[in-house]
Amino acid sequence: MALALSVNLNKVCLLRNSRGGTNPSPRVAGATCLDHGAYGLTLHWRADNRHTRQSDVRELRALCADRGKEFNLEGDDREELIALAEELAVTQFTLVPVTPGEITSDHGWDLPRQHAIVAPIVARLKARRIRTAVFVDPNPDMMAHVAAAGVDRVEIYTEPYAAAWGTPKLVGELDRVKRTAEAAVAHGMKVNCGHDLDLRNTPLLARSVPELAEASIGHALLADALYLGLAEAVARYARACRGEAVDAPVTR
């Protein structure tokens, strides 16, 4: 089964917010993504509203429902976010730890230490038949503890793998992702991945870790869209998720 591409549209929202208007439209961008190979859409709604807003979550959830596509809502453990996920019956909710002031997510949940935070939210959402995932560091030894929280999936944090691209550390980081994915599956969970994936490093990951079900890709895809156009960028990333070698734009 090919790795499914879920496009994270946070940066479209960020660009719109920079001028205070309605352009670019996350809804129009989302429709373009779905038209050109995306399996679904992702938004990470942060408390500071610096990119995604609650209205974006509502609009893109409706778009995905109309198209019969998956909608993945990401975020921390705050009540307004969990309640919105329940209200909208999102396809998947990915629970992500947030450190105040961080530019972007930079670590996963620490289980079993944070079990008391994660497990009740997972149980609450699963009771509403919402698929649950938790953001985790590539650590195979932790997967038994993650499974004990009752989650359906893990999303493996792939920044260490991406940062190792072109260095001697790549083999070890790829192996760490692979062993984590294998351990997750062995404990009854499915496996997603995300963070710093691009046209260069995604094909190798897709070919090497067949356990991966879904990749959430945002920043690199939308940056490449500046050079390629959004439709072409999405099409290339969909191919990359199938393990195909794809030309990346020259960016420097």
Catalytic annotation, residues: 44, 74, 195
Q: Which of 200, 195, 202 is nearest to 166 (CA)?
A: 200
Number of helices (H), then strands (E), belonging to the chain: the values are 11, 8
238 vs 250: CA distance, rounded Å: 19
Give the number of other CB atoms < 10 A from CB of residue 20: 6
Q: What is the DSSP letter of 9?
A: -
Q: What count of residues does the chain have?
A: 252
DSSP three-state, residue 178: helix
Which residues have a Cβ under 8 Å from the Cβ of 241 and sit 6 or more positions away?
A: 2, 3, 4, 5, 202, 206, 215
Q: Which of 159, 154, 207, 214 is nearest to 184 (CA)?
A: 154
